[in-house]
Structure 1
Amino acid sequence: MYGSHLKSSLQLFPGIGERKEKQLFGVGVYDWESLIQYQKQKNDPLLPAVSILEERLDELDHELSEANFPFFTTELPSLEYWRLWQNFPEKFCFLDIETTGISDSSVTTVVSLYQNKRMLTFERGKDLEFLFDSISPEDILVTYNGKRFDVPFLEREFHYRVKNPQLDLMNLLHSIGIKGGLKKSEVLLGLVRPEEIAGMDGRQAPLLWFEYQRTNNKEALEKLIAYNKEDTKNLEIVLEKTIDRLTENRLF
């Protein structure tokens, strides 16, 4: 592992976007301190003056020493939130939902949250309405395709506006060339699911719920919940393995 992933974010400095950051990585500028040294030596006209960079460095160091998590979620682009995992793992809330479908009449059946090695699962007709009480508003919601599906689905159904910062692992995986859905991504990253739910996908989840509703088959419900929990817990592993890929290839 290289140094602090957060301190390798040059986009936290004024005038540095993704393109300029990659250029700087390419010449060996990998962290906040080396950026200052680089500008002192090169006086790059496309970078702010050394005094401005040093002032920003002091601010960043102070906010990091104060563990000011909201400061960094405000300052970082959402695709860069992965950099905070190393310093603030307790602030990452992994979320996955199961539904009866994708139409406007579909509803949520099961939702799991995984945070700080603690799993919470909410079931329709039991405790689903308490879901948002368990999510701290400043924590990062980590999902797979959640920005386009999970979060808007919950917002529509519960008439609730999710204001949390969000990290969508689908987009992060795309940035390292991995596409094709969560299950395929897991395989490409070397994850193996338990035998009892291996091979299951999102198309089977509604069928399990319908079977439970129709016949009160507890095994169908238990299998659905186990599948949802595995999806949710694996998001953490996918994040860690994706970060490994980014740092191994110095794509950070």
Structure 2
Amino acid sequence: MLNHTFLHLPGLGPSTERRLWAAGILTWDDFLNAPQPPLASVKVPLWRDELLASKERLDAADADWFASRLPPAEAWRLFYDFRDQLACVDIETDGTPQNEVTAVAFYDGINCARTYAHGKNLHDFVADITASKVLVTFNGRCFDAPILTSHLGARLPKAHIDLRNVLCGIGVKGGLKKCEERYGVDRGDLTGADGYLAVLLWREYARHGHPAVLETLLAYNAADVLALPVLLAHAINELVGKTPFAATHSLPIPAPGDNPHRPDADVLRRVWHERRPGGGWGR
């Protein structure tokens, strides 16, 4: 999709991009080979130079270069060229103002999610993330990424598809669980659980060290990242459907990946009761 993208050019907006597509300028080469692109702009020579640079940066697999030039809501266009180098990431914290990281889940959209827990293997994430080119999160620009950088010293990809930005761009608003419900993502035993559950699970684990509590926390954390490729595919299909490339660039909707952890039913019932004595998770 990047080869069809012109939004990253300085001063070129969505309406101009649509005019180019409507005029048959569908790729960078179409623009570069046109004797006179259908634009009356003094920036045409600059855009030619930028497109030549774009070809070089794409050949170099420089996702960060494109991400720095695309609006956050358009970062989904990175998916096609970097789908094999994604890092879907979600964190849990201790619920204090310090936001100490208690768990991290990492999923490449292909294999099972990997999880990292405070006091166990948390800093292994710092090394594992370095091979990825594009970060995928939900609200990670405001929360996950800054915390991972400041608390763990993680060097994250600058290229970042924040699904909250992308989904807002198509009118889908609300938290991650609400978006999952919209697209039919089933969390099984974790249906209705939210971020405060993760805080309570961590507090219980920190007090007693029961492995089943940590297993339940990691299952919840992993469920967050396993849903991200599903939401991303739905969003991309809606967005690409508004372009001339729907027939060639629409995606199959993946099933959520396999969760490497299983929530413990007894732990869930106990924490459920502690949270809301009358029963029910609340929303």
Corresponding residue for 1:94?
A: 88
1:130 to 113, 124, 128: 124
1:76-134 CA-to-partner distances (Å, cap 9, x unmatched) read 44433321211221221110001111x42342111011125232210111111222111
Aligned to 1:128, the other structure's residue is in SS state: coil
Please say if residues 144 and 169 of structure 1, whose CA atoms lie closer than 8 Å, have aligned partners that are also in contact.
yes
Q: Does 1:233 align with 2:248?
A: no
Give TM-score scaled by structure 1 length: 0.81
Q: Secondary structure at the match of 1:142?
A: strand
Q: Give the counterpart of 1:201 among 180, 194, 197.
A: 194
Give structure 2 stretches of 5+ with no counterpart.
246-283
Other-structure match for 1:10 = 6
Q: 1:39 to 1:77 in 2, by over 3 A?
A: farther
Q: How far 1:12 moved relative to its partner?
A: 3.4
What is residue 40 of structure 2 aligned with on the other side?
45
Superposed CA offset, 1:151-200 (max 9, x none):
2223333356656332211011100000011111112123222x211111
What is the identity, as a one-letter code, of the residue corresponding to 1:222? E
Residues 1:20 and 2:16 are matched in the alignment: yes
Runs of 5+ consecutive residues of structure 1 not aligned to the other structure: none
Q: Which amino acid aligns with 1:123?
A: A
Is it true that 1:178 corresponds to 2:159 in the alignment?
Answer: no
Structure 2 distance, partners of 1:41, 1:166, is 31
Q: 1:148 to 1:66 in 2, by over 3 A?
A: closer
- Identical positions, percent: 32
More divergent stretch after superposition (202-211 vs 13-22):
13-22
1:216 positional shift: 3.1
Counterpart for residue 216 of structure 1: 209
> What amino acid sits opposite 1:183 in the alignment?
K
Task: Decide whether the 8 Å contact of 1:197 with 1:223 is kept in 2.
Answer: no
C-alpha displacement at 1:211, in angstroms? Answer: 2.1
Whole-Å Cα distance in 1 between the matches of residues 81 and 26 of structure 2?
17
User: Is the partner of 1:153 in helix, strand or coil?
Assistant: helix
What RMSD, in angstroms, separates the aligned Cα atoms of the two structures? 3.0
| Secondary structure of 1:96's aligned partner | strand
Per-residue deviation at 1:22? 4.7
Amino acid in structure 2 at the alignment position of 1:158 = L
In the alignment, the residues of structure 1 paired with residue 195 and residue 128 of structure 2 have an alpha-carbon distance, to the nearest angstrom, of: 24
Give the Cα separation in 1 of the matches to 2:35 and 2:186: 46
Per-residue CA deviation, residues 182-236 of structure 1 (Å, 9 max, x unaligned), is 111112123222x211111112111112222333333222121111111012112
Equivalent residue letter for 1:153: I
Partner Cα separation in structure 1 for residue 62 and residue 150 of structure 2: 31
Q: Secondary structure at the match of 1:45?
A: coil
Q: What is the aligned residue count? A: 244
CA change 1:238–1:39 in 2 (3 A) is farther
Q: C-alpha distance in 2, partners of 1:13/1:115?
A: 29
TM-score (norm 2): 0.73
CA distance in 2: counterparts of 1:115 and 1:224, whole angstroms: 20
